[in-house]
Amino acid sequence: MNQSSTAPSRQLQITILTVGSRGDLQPYCALGIGLKRAGHKVKVAAHENFESFVRKFDLEFAPIAGNMEEFLQSKQGQRLIAGEKLNPEEADKLLLQQLESAWSACQGSEVIIYTPLATFGYHIAEKLGVPCFFASVMPLTLTGMFGFLRFGQIAKNPLKEAINYGSYLLVEFLHWQRYRPLLNHFRTETLKLPPLPYLGRRFRQKTPANVSRIPVLYGFSSHVIPKPHDWPHWAYVTGFWFIEQASEYEPPLALEDFLGRKQLPLCFGFGSMTMPNPEYLTHYIVEALKKTHQGGIILSGWGNVGRTVNVKDSLRVFVIKEVPHDWLFPQVPAVVHHGGASTTAAVLRAGIPSVTIPFFADQPVWGEKLNRLGVSPQPIPYHKVSDKTLAAAIEVVLHDEGMRLKAQKLGEKLRGEDGVANAVEAFHRHLGLIG
């Protein structure tokens, strides 16, 4: 990643507030690395289990309540991934702890950057009277071009555009109603700020200048999601944000040997996704590889996929906890993944086709987006995956030459972008730190 071409006029103390999984965190660490290289002091406030991950990039760290790895491996976390709702009392208790720990983390900040699952950064920035930015790796600004979490589909008629626009307002309103009592309590008791109105911050009679028009840094590429024509100029689409790890990675010899075979293996990775019975997914993967006469590398991740591979299948399957995507993906012909934003970005930049097995949240939308880009077959929802559906999709990604060429061309375009440098420049320009 390159430092922004124009140096800023002064050093700032920046806090990045982020909540979620490792895939949620990693792009914002990439942004933090870019800001630090540009001369700023950067603190990343994230779940306590990510301290070592954040600090290895020489970034400051502050803990946000909750251990995301333990949570997603718990029965409650697995129910959330399966689409069930959390216990409201437990969710509220955790959020209150996150609010208090975020408030502590932001002391001394001159700029706050907050992310989609940490929008409480708005209230903290208001109290501190400092500039703030919203940062996201998926589009969340109001638009008629596509609906909320529907960026896989582009609207073609005015009625659909109006419905799309309204979907953002509806989600915003419902989210505010769900958390209004808790957030207003945080505002009045901890921050000593007046409560926000019933309809939310959009309907404040008087909004403080530092939170009246919040710039947005978008860590995705316009080659993948075109910037909507109705977005304001302070919504910056910069390109994907990556941490370059390939040059420093030292792979185990066994992995290098497995990759050195005449027939290149596919890669299977599901990141932070957990499931009650990972042995089922492992079985489907192994059987699909047998059906297609392929080998595979399984990144076991937080879900421990691959732990039940039989010894007799070890010639066909190699299991390892994790490998940097920018090192591994360019060496395999295709990836089977969950459709998380970070993994999707890495697959696209590698210029290879993929199969998505989405679990929840934005993953089905990324799967649909890849399919519409022509670089992936139809997504296979996790509850519908089997050795047959997986084998059929593998056959497509290995033998559809048109799909392979589209993936290669898109990968070339993405490798030509420096999303972090573009985001750092937009950050500086918006704050008036460069001309």
pLDDT digits (tens, 9 = 90+) for 140-197: 999 999 999 999 888 889 999 999 999 999 999 999 999 999 999 999 999 999 999 9
Flag whether pLDDT at 428 surpasses 60. yes
Sheet with strand 13-17: strands edge to edge: 60-64, 41-47, 13-17, 111-114, 132-136, 216-218, 235-237
2 falls in which pLDDT band (50, 70, 90)?
very low
First to last CA, the chain: 22
Q: Which long-range contacts (CB under 8 A, 24 or more apart) does 181-187 make?
A: 182/92, 182/95, 182/96, 182/99, 183/99, 183/120, 183/123, 186/96, 186/99, 186/120, 186/123, 187/123
The C-alpha atoms of residue 102 and residue 192 are separated, in whole angstroms, by 16
Q: Which pLDDT value is given to residue 60? A: 98
Residue-wise pLDDT for 301-310, tens only, equals: 999 999 988 8
CA neighbor of 361 nearest in space, from 11, 16, 72: 72
Sheet order of strands, 266-269 included:
317-320, 296-299, 266-269, 335-337, 354-356
Residue among 319, 316, 321, 328 nearest 354 (CA)? 328
Percent of the chain predicted with pLDDT > 70: 98
Closest CA to 335 of 282, 398, 389, 279: 398
In tens, the pLDDT along 50-83 reads 999 999 999 999 999 999 889 888 888 888 887 7
- Tens of pLDDT, residue by residue over 347-398, are 999 999 999 999 999 999 999 999 999 999 999 999 999 999 999 999 999 9
Q: What is the CA radius of gyration of the chain?
A: 22
Q: Which long-range contacts (CB under 8 A, 24 or more apart) does 78-84 make?
A: 78/274, 78/275, 78/276, 80/360, 81/273, 81/274, 81/275, 81/359, 81/360, 82/359, 82/360, 83/360
pLDDT digits (tens, 9 = 90+) for 285-336: 999 999 999 999 999 999 999 998 887 888 899 999 999 999 999 999 999 9
Which pLDDT band holds residue 7 (cuts at 50, 70, 90)? low
**d(Cα 70, Cα 66) in Å, to the nearest integer?**
9
Pinpoint the alpha helices (H) of 204-294: 253-259, 278-292
Domains 13-240+417-430 and 246-415 alike in fold: yes
pLDDT, residue 310, reads: 87
Q: Are residues 57 and 32 in contact, defined by beta-carbon separation less than 8 angstroms?
A: yes
- 195: DSSP letter: P
The reply to whether the predicted model has a pTM over 0.85 is: yes
Residues 282-295 as b/e (b if ≥16 CB within 10 A, e otherwise) read bbbbbbbbeebebb
Provide the pLDDT for residue 308.
87
Residue among 40, 50, 99 at smallest CA distance from 71? 50
- Residue 112 confidence (pLDDT) above 80: yes
Q: Which residue type does 414 have?
A: L
Q: What is the per-residue pLDDT across 211-259, written as a single tens digit (0 to 9) for each?
A: 999 999 999 999 999 999 999 999 999 999 999 999 999 999 999 999 9
Topology of the domain comprising 246-415? Rossmann fold (3.40.50)
Cα 373 to Cα 85, 152, 226, 255, 411, distances in angstroms: 32, 9, 12, 31, 12
- pLDDT for res 368: 97
429 pLDDT above the threshold of 90: yes
Q: State the fold for domain 13-240+417-430.
A: Rossmann fold (3.40.50)
The 3-state DSSP composition of the chain as helix, strand, coil percent (nearest 5) reads: 45, 10, 40
Determine the Cα–Cα distance for residues 426 and 215; give it in Å rounded to an integer. 9
Query: What element of type H or E holds 62?
Result: strand 60-64
Query: What is the model's pLDDT at position 4?
Result: 42
Residue 314 in 3-state DSSP?
coil
Tell me the C-alpha distance between 168 and 12, whole Å.
33
CA angle 13, 341, 364 (to 5 degrees): 145
Cα–Cα distance between 286 and 369 in angstroms, integer? 27
Domain chopping of the chain, boundaries: 13-240+417-430, 246-415
Other CB atoms within 10 A of residue 108 CB: 11
Determine the average pLDDT of the residues in 421-427.
97
